[in-house]
Structure 1
Amino acid sequence: MDAFRLLTRSTKLKAAATSASATASARLPSTGKAANPQLFRTAETDKLERNKKRKRAIAVEEGDGDDTADLDFFQSSKRPAATTPAATSTAPERDAEQDDESDDEDVMDDVQRRTILNSHKIKVTDLRDLEEIQTQPVPPKESKKKKKKQKKEETPVLSKKEQKRARRLYPQPLLSFKELRSQYKISRRLAENVAEQGFTMPTEVQLGSLPLLLGESSATTGLSDDSSEPDLLVVAPTGSGKTLSFLIPVINKIVRHHHSQPEEHGILSMVVAPTKELASQIVNEGRKLVAGTGVKITLMRKGMQVVERDDEGDTNALDEDSEGSSEPEEDDRAKQRGSHAPVTKSDILVTTPLMLVNSLSASRTKTMASLPLVRNLVLDEADVLLDPLFREQTLDIWRSCSHPDLRVSLWSATMGSNVEDLTRLTVKERQEELGHKPHKQHPLVRLVVGLKDSAIPNIDHRLVYAATEQGKLLGLRQLLHPTAASASDVRLRPPFLIFTQTIPRAVALHSELKYDIPAEAGGSSRIAVLHSDLSDSQRSDIMRDFRKGEIWILVTTDLLARGVDFRGINGVVNYDIPNSAAVYVHRVGRTGRAGREGGIAVTFYTKEDIPYVKSIANIIDVSEKLRGNEGSKSIQKWLLDALPDLSKNSKKDLKRHGVEARRASRYGGKGGDGDDDKKDQRGARISTKSGFERRMENRKKGAIAASRSRKAAAETAEENDSSWEGLED
């Protein structure tokens, strides 16, 4: 036996221990960039990609050999060698042939496309009617057949499986961002900006959507007709790179437009997002990509003029309405100042629905103005924008884009069938209004990554029963201060987000946790609350401090549940259960972004929440099956069987108002004075103190206040008694 190995065994154990601790810390999403941003990847796809790169390298070497063979080393140096007209005329053609050959080499066959797309769990479907999809030609019929049989064969009835096969598309996948320049010929500066951001390996949504939006032939898009760009519906997990997927094609299209039509200026593309935070984030990402391209991206703000209006009649109507008053009101003055504001000079406008509708309609006082130059309309978080809350505003924006070549793309992590039906209906109605013939309709394509409406599989889900509101607060404090005595195996480290159902509950939870962080670590400055009642400047300051790491814990509502990218979030806590399964998917998607592993999603539920938990438990179960954690499942089958099912009416009520016990009307001074309302207020209160302790504290505070007031009154009385009354005789 080697004595040196025997003596150095302990040092190796220490090294192993340190490496284990390093791997444990590396599992935190906030430790850095993920090595592989893809969620679904197999050894088979790696093998295909390596073979494709090897073929390219061989083709490049062979091309270099051909170039060296054509060189003439014996020509005279005094004058250039004479070239025949035939040689000069065929040189460009030969270059074009070489480019075509290189493109043919890059194009995969159907088997390779299907293998890569299926391994990455990418499903592309043509949503047009079967009559509009160009199918393969029917073989010629034999003349010996009877007429009845011929009539039957003329109208074949396809089964459901055959219809699905006819609708399936297999576009060529994008295996590297270098292909954007070499194969899809995007702008050189745009390709450099993408490389400078460190993007090398595309995610699943980028791998499938960019060829559809950038491809110009059926060889890359997989469509039966050579449509340059389809209308697209994309359902992809949270944090999978959807923003980059729609920004690159939009910017590249505008760069080409500037070269082809430099005299045409105006808003050429619009991105609509449901919240200001998400819109601001899209603008920040877009500015990194448009640097040096000549494309300008702008965030919509109040008072911004988008189009020039010549509605003199509407202005006169406003003047007639204001004839009764001697001076116009401040709102009318603001409207008049806004109407004369200069039109924004931007190529891409990022906005929220209400702000743009108010600008186009002068705060609903005029008819909607049209946007004739917009060629791309992007709806980010489309299921919310087409929800009844924003639906009318979004459809008004959609109808105001009057360009005949408008392309619409809808992006979200959750998208119901009602959104697809509404999209198809709106596209057809708009094309009928513009006078398009049926054969000129743009293809409508849907791309789904993974399982539809499911959570990302690279995070750990925990469903914790806390029984009461006080139990939820105790469980949250255990996450903040984990001890060896705690039975839970969850170790959640800042930074993380805490979601509540309503704004009053977010404010109450923030005030309760404000002093839980010791002063040595920063104290109350390390925790903040963010909701829609705050001003824009306050919200932006909190977001900036949270991104900088000055704020560790952020208590918020569903305002931050969608789209906002926090790359270093270690976990998410659902202090109140979400109003729907889709909200849960978006909430927990704030962690585990871009393929990062180690994120934790903890959901507390009480006795009142039991009827609403099954949809969340089903999502967790599906996510764990995608991840392959059959042995260590947090959701057991007996729990799924024991949880009650929820009716459709109850789901609608939950989506609109939340859990009954925690509605805003039940507390915060808005409830009634009855005993039932008082019980509801006590049950919804965020505190670990009992009612008796609170009454004793209030009595003590009242006694102290009364003592101070009596003391102040006695002092004022002594001052009055000892006041100078003049000289005595």
Structure 2
Amino acid sequence: MDPLKLLSRSTRLRAGRQHAQHTTPSSGDRAQPKLFPPVEDTPKISKKRKRGENMPPFSDDQPGCLDFFGVAVKSNTRPAVESKQDAVQDREEGGPEPEKSRAPSSAPVLPATTDEEARAVLKQHKLKVTLLNPTSSQTKQRRKGGSGRSGKMERPALHPHPLMSFKDTRGRFGISSRLAANLNEQGYSVPTEVQMGALPILLDASEQYLGHDIPLSAETDRRSSPNLLTVAPTGSGKTLAFMIPLLHRVQSRRHRDQHPTRTVCAIVLAPTKELVGQITNEGRKVTKGTGVSVTQLRKGMRLRPTRLSESKAKDTSSPNPTGGEPTVVKADVLICTPGLLHSMLNDEHNPAQDALADVRDLVLDEADVLLDPLFREQTLGVWHRIVSPRLSVSLWSATMGSNIEELAISTIKDWREKLSMQNRETVPEAPFVRLVVGLKDSAVLNVEHKLIYAATEQGKLMGLRQLLHPASTPQGAGASLLPPFLIFTQTIERAVALHSELLYDIPAEAGGIGRIAVLHADLSDTARDSVMTRFRKGEIWVLITTDLLSRGIDFRGINGVVNYDIPTSSAAYVHRVGRTGRAGRGGGVAVTLYSKDDIPYLKHVANVVAMAQKQEGSSNKDAGLQQWLLDALPKLSKQEKHTLKKRGIESRKSRGKDTNPRAARGARISSKAGFVRQAENNHRGAVLGSQRRAQAEALSDAGDDTEFAGFD
């Protein structure tokens, strides 16, 4: 089934102007998952083999990948990928070395690269590792601006030895054979940049991987990993980067401590239910056969048995008046939203004071949102309920502001001081490491960005309809937008209205109204799960949604993203467009439609697009952002940015009708002209007036038939 032919069946193309075939994320083979390819003329890394050289193409037939509009051919065979450590050793010694026996898992094998080579690889892949909580001796004489001059404290840089191949995790870090086999079955062979830098930090906290120049404290528990703050682009593999160390530590503790009962040892917090479900599914794939249980916390579950269950356990003859008890969570890794877990911990009828007593790992996925004022109270409430002094905290996101970074540092410090006062002993301070992949708060490089001026809301609707018919796209306009794609709106009301307008734009031969759907928070959990399942299967081609799906959701076959309403911040734009171009796939398109009312708020979007074009080095100036537009856009003050992020554009909200009715009418999503809507309103008012008059006449006629009772 070719969606392009179905959507453009009524368009006759002239000879020589056939639609150009573009590489899209939903077609073709998947490239090697690298965000920053090596530079050919880099002299410092001449000893190392280029990343991806002499490697077989990565097939897209692996489980978990999506194939829209086609039949996937699954294969159980995996090509053998040569380790980079072996490649370096071959080049240095002049030939391949005879195969050596693998050391046991209890004795980690050191990486083959030297410290200088490790620094070169980190620089080559744009990995920057920094220690955020250095001691006074480590920060001595590290001030910017020279000696004797005041300035901002410069934090020391670390140079961990990067991970070159997933098959080295067992010998180097001692992960279990079952966990390593699951990674191989899922097709993971070459780590991405974030996995290359994060896995050595989280799997081994010894000083040889954090850098010889920054020694760790002697009181640091080697079985606990340092706290980590990671900033990596969307679709770079952050979920697997924190899931592998998490499962490895949980499995090691279970074998070492031999708990008779299953208790919660690790918690992963995510802002939305869809992201929680996705992380749970990925975790269960990796934990197959390992004995580690990964559970998604849902409404109706309990962290501990209720008082009624405890009384029934003592008296088995007592009946069950409720007809059933809530499910008690029995899991090693608990994945949930912060609001649900916080409400369960503070339940007055069934308090769970000791439910998190054994938790030693806390992961905050999309940490900038979880520590935003919207989720901050619930997230910190869960954080402060953990009482283990060996707690390891990791924060992950594609965008991380300096305020979130400082908040994380202060929260760790306050939590440690509070725990020291409760235990009446000093809790040792663990290293807090920051890992940045590429540039912070930047969009992915393999996505084409487009800013389209539509003047009015009607123009935006017309432009969106033109995107639904890619055959009408003129030549020289760059890559066209092919389904499936996402459409983002500012509010739920606008998403529903846009869905009503586009409901019949897809012809019946292509599936009709079943190819377009809307997803928002007002839908039930069952309806949301149904829409997500149909979209992943390729039954839905166009999905209209709010920022509910802008973070973390992995749709590997999404060909494009349309911002029908501009995002309220640069971080929101980065996460929205990050739904396409996942895992190194090229050909994704990000289109932003803006009207005259959006021009005062477009500067933050234009800055992100300009930075992405600068990193990519694109020569096609007409396809993206032009410099005159960037210079002409007005700048927003700090207060205006805060108001826009918190409230959005007022005229597009339901309460905007009261503040500015005229602007609210202009922001209405409708293809009808103003005089047409006025005529319809007049007709509707005339019908209502006629009905009222008919009811009044009926009442008056009924009164004439009654008997006269006199004037008394």
Q: 1:97 to 1:372 in 2, by over 3 A?
A: closer
* Distance in 2 between residues matched to 1:367 and 1:251, nearest whole Å: 24
Secondary structure at the residue paired with 2:166? coil
* Distance in 1 between residues matched to 2:349 and 2:159, nearest whole Å: 45
Matched-pair contact (CA < 8 Å) for 2:344–2:351: no
| Residue 294 of structure 1, aligned match among 291, 296, 317 | 291
Matched-pair contact (CA < 8 Å) for 2:606–2:630: yes
Q: Which residue does the alignment assign to 2:69?
A: none
Q: Which residue does the alignment assign to 1:139?
A: none
Q: Which residue does the alignment assign to 2:73?
A: none
* Distance in 2 between residues matched to 1:490 and 1:35, nearest whole Å: 19
Counting only pairs closer than 5 Å after superposition, residues 244-643 of structure 1 correspond to structure 2 as 244-263=240-259, 265-307=262-304, 341=326, 343-362=328-347, 371-435=356-420, 440-484=428-472, 486=474, 488-489=477-478, 491-632=480-621, 634-643=624-633
Q: Which has the larger radius of gyration?
A: 1
Matched-pair contact (CA < 8 Å) for 2:473–2:480: no
Matched-pair contact (CA < 8 Å) for 1:307–1:371: no
Matched-pair contact (CA < 8 Å) for 2:35–2:193: yes
Matched-pair contact (CA < 8 Å) for 1:233–1:446: yes
Query: Taking structure 2 as the reference length, what is the TM-score of the superposition?
Result: 0.79
Q: 1:339 to 1:209 in 2, by over 3 A?
A: farther
Secondary structure at the residue paired with 2:470? coil
Letter of the 2:670 counterpart: S
Q: Cα offset for 1:267?
A: 0.3
Q: Which residue does the alignment assign to 1:53?
A: 86
Letter of the 1:559 counterpart: L
Matched-pair contact (CA < 8 Å) for 2:338–2:375: yes
* Distance in 2 between residues matched to 1:492 and 1:485, nearest whole Å: 9
Letter of the 1:560 counterpart: L
Matched, 1:692 2:675: yes
Q: Which deviations, in whole Å up to 9, do the C-alpha atoms of 1:70-120 show, x marking residues without a partner?
A: xxxxxxxxxxxxxxxxxxxxxxxxx979998x935x342222111111111
Q: Which residue does the alignment assign to 1:236?
A: 232
How many residues matched?
616
Secondary structure at the residue paired with 1:371? coil
Q: 1:524 to 1:339 in 2, by over 3 A?
A: closer
Q: More helix per residue: 1 or 2?
A: 1
Range with bigger deviation, 50-59 or 28-37: 50-59
Q: Which residue does the alignment assign to 2:196?
A: 207
Matched-pair contact (CA < 8 Å) for 1:230–1:407: yes
* Distance in 2 between residues matched to 1:157 and 1:572, nearest whole Å: 44
Q: Which deviations, in whole Å up to 9, do the C-alpha atoms of 1:310-367 show, x marking residues without a partner?
A: 899xx9xxxxxxxxxxxxxxxxxx9x97996453110000000111011111169968
Q: Cα offset for 1:637?
A: 2.1
Q: Which residue does the alignment assign to 1:658?
A: 648
Q: Cα offset for 1:663?
A: 2.0
Flag structure 1 segments of 5+ consecutive residues without an equivalent. 1-20, 68-94, 136-154, 316-333, 712-729
* Distance in 1 between residues matched to 2:287 and 2:343, nearest whole Å: 28
Between the aligned residues of both structures, percent identity stands at: 50
Matched-pair contact (CA < 8 Å) for 1:370–1:402: no
Letter of the 1:128 counterpart: N
Matched, 1:224 2:228: no
| Residue 119 of structure 1, aligned match among 121, 124, 133 | 124
* Distance in 2 between residues matched to 1:687 and 1:231, nearest whole Å: 50
Secondary structure at the residue paired with 1:31? coil
Secondary structure at the residue paired with 2:304? coil
* Distance in 2 between residues matched to 1:41 and 1:438, nearest whole Å: 46
Flag structure 2 segments of 5+ consecutive residues without an equivalent. 1-17, 54-83, 312-319, 695-712
Q: Cα offset for 1:219?
A: 2.0
Range with bigger deviation, 28-37 or 195-204: 28-37
Matched-pair contact (CA < 8 Å) for 1:503–1:531: yes
Q: Cα offset for 1:37?
A: 1.1
* Distance in 1 between residues matched to 2:470 and 2:685, nearest whole Å: 36
Secondary structure at the residue paired with 2:173? coil
Q: 1:694 to 1:232 in 2, by over 3 A?
A: same
Q: Which deviations, in whole Å up to 9, do the C-alpha atoms of 1:203-237 show, x marking residues without a partner?
A: 11101100101124222233522754110000000
Letter of the 2:639 counterpart: N
Query: Taking structure 1 as the reference length, what is the TM-score of the superposition?
Result: 0.78
Counting only pairs closer than 5 Å after superposition, residues 14-163 of structure 1 correspond to structure 2 as 24-25=21-22, 27-42=23-38, 43=40, 47=49, 52-54=85-87, 56=89, 103-104=109-110, 106-131=111-136, 133=138, 158-159=143-144
* Distance in 2 between residues matched to 1:113 and 1:414, nearest whole Å: 26
Secondary structure at the residue paired with 1:661? helix
* Distance in 1 between residues matched to 2:484 and 2:552, nearest whole Å: 18
* Distance in 2 between residues matched to 1:565 and 1:485, nearest whole Å: 28
Counting only pairs closer than 5 Å after superposition, residues 693-712 of structure 1 correspond to structure 2 as 693-697=676-680
* Distance in 1 between residues matched to 2:193 and 2:539, nearest whole Å: 33
Secondary structure at the residue paired with 2:561? strand
Q: Which residue does the alignment assign to 1:681?
A: 664
Secondary structure at the residue paired with 1:30? coil
| RMSD across aligned positions (CA) | 3.6
Matched-pair contact (CA < 8 Å) for 1:309–1:369: no
Q: Cα offset for 1:448?
A: 0.6
Q: 1:98 to 1:457 in 2, by over 3 A?
A: closer
* Distance in 2 between residues matched to 1:468 and 1:420, nearest whole Å: 39
Secondary structure at the residue paired with 1:103? coil
Q: Cα offset for 1:132?
A: 6.3
Matched-pair contact (CA < 8 Å) for 2:303–2:352: no
* Distance in 2 between residues matched to 1:199 and 1:632, nearest whole Å: 37
Secondary structure at the residue paired with 2:433? strand
Matched-pair contact (CA < 8 Å) for 1:370–1:401: no
Q: 1:160 to 1:339 in 2, by over 3 A?
A: farther
Q: Which deviations, in whole Å up to 9, do the C-alpha atoms of 1:554-575 show, x marking residues without a partner?
A: 0000000100110100000000
* Distance in 1 between residues matched to 2:95 and 2:257, nearest whole Å: 36
Q: Cα offset for 1:34?
A: 1.9
Q: Cα offset for 1:440?
A: 2.4
* Distance in 1 between residues matched to 2:399 and 2:104, nearest whole Å: 45
* Distance in 2 between residues matched to 1:364 and 1:557, nearest whole Å: 35
Q: Which residue does the alignment assign to 2:81?
A: none
* Distance in 2 between residues matched to 1:401 and 1:505, nearest whole Å: 41
Secondary structure at the residue paired with 2:384? helix
Letter of the 1:54 counterpart: A
Q: Which residue does the alignment assign to 2:702?
A: none
Q: Which deviations, in whole Å up to 9, do the C-alpha atoms of 1:15-71 show, x marking residues without a partner?
A: xxxxxx99944x10011552211110214566266773235567997555x99xxxx
* Distance in 2 between residues matched to 1:645 and 1:186, nearest whole Å: 51
* Distance in 1 between residues matched to 2:542 and 2:232, nearest whole Å: 27
